[in-house]
């Protein structure tokens, strides 16, 4: 198996030396160069064959996000794994949008770093547990927000029952008998649900029900 050719990009020499010493213990990894910023990294990539760039975020001249975008544009075959001291939520989406294949905190164990490099080299994505947790929570918040903005989700369960039965063509009297409530109560539910959904007649109600797939077409 050929070695994974890695370029280290970090503005702290002592950090690069430490990571280099750690990675050289793996027989699968070869350090082909080091750079202190994104601009230097691009110069090295134009001269040497590299499989994966281990990239810091906060660097002078050209930071990690800009460098990642440039690398992905000029060298789309090269993988980028972000290794940073930052673990803040706001960095996760920016890193992924820049085109990075993975994100790992510098506090991670050496075994996790090597596993991340191998995974990204294989073509997989790799996210630290905290980044994964953030993305899951972000998705859940967005899904809940979309649901809460949907007028239909603002209906009570009883209003949804009445809505479905009305869309199916039942009269208020029929619905009253089916739900064991008075026709007057059915009409009250109908008025409220029509207001909540901003519907003005039965035709609009049926169209809405079809669009929401509450009744079959």
* Confidence (pTM): 0.62
Helix (H, G, I), strand (E, B) or coil at 127: strand
Distances (CA, A) of 213 to 50, 136, 152: 52, 28, 12
**Could you please report the per-residue DSSP string of 80-106?**
EEEEES---HHHHHHHHHHT-SEEEET
Kindly tell me if the per-residue pLDDT of 138 is higher than 70.
no
pLDDT band at 95 (very low <50, low <70, confident <90, very high): confident
- Mean pLDDT across 149-158: 86
Distance of CA 112 to the CA centre of its chain: 21
- On the question of pLDDT at 137 being above 70, the answer is no
What is the average pLDDT across 78-104?
Answer: 83
Is residue 146 over pLDDT 70?
Answer: no
Query: Where residue 147 falls among pLDDT bands split at 50, 70, 90?
Result: low
Whether residue 88 has pLDDT greater than 60? no
Q: Are 65 and 97 in contact (CB under 8 A)?
A: no
- Give the domains, in start order, of the chain with CATH numbers: 4-140 (3.40.50.2300), 151-211 (1.10.10.10)
- Span 58-67, average pLDDT: 93
Q: What is the pLDDT of residue 135?
A: 67
């Amino acid at each position: 198996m050929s070695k994974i050719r890695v370029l280290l990009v970090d503005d702290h020499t002592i950090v690069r030396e430490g990571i280099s010493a750690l990675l050289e213990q793996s027989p699968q990894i070869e350090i082909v160069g080091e750079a202190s910023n994104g601009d230097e990294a691009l110069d090295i990539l134009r001269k040497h064959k590299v499989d994966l760039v281990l990239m810091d975020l906060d660097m002078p001249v050209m930071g990690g996000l800009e460098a990642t975008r440039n690398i992905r544009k000029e060298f789309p075959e090269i993988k980028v794994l972000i290794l940073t001291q930052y673990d803040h939520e706001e960095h996760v989406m920016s890193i992924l949008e820049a085109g990075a294949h993975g994100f790992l905190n510098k506090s991670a164990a050496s075994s996790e770093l090597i596993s991340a490099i191998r995974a990204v080299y294989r073509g997989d994505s790799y996210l630290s547990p905290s980044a994964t947790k953030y993305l899951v929570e972000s998705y859940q918040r967005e899904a809940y927000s979309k649901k809460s903005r949907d007028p239909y989700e603002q209906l009570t369960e009883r209003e949804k029952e009445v809505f479905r039965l009305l869309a199916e063509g039942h009269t208020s009297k029929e619905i009253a008998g089916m739900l064991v409530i008075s026709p007057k109560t059915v009409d009250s539910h109908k008025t409220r649900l029509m207001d909540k959904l901003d519907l003005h007649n039965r035709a609009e109600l049926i169209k809405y029900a079809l669009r929401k797939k509450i009744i079959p077409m």
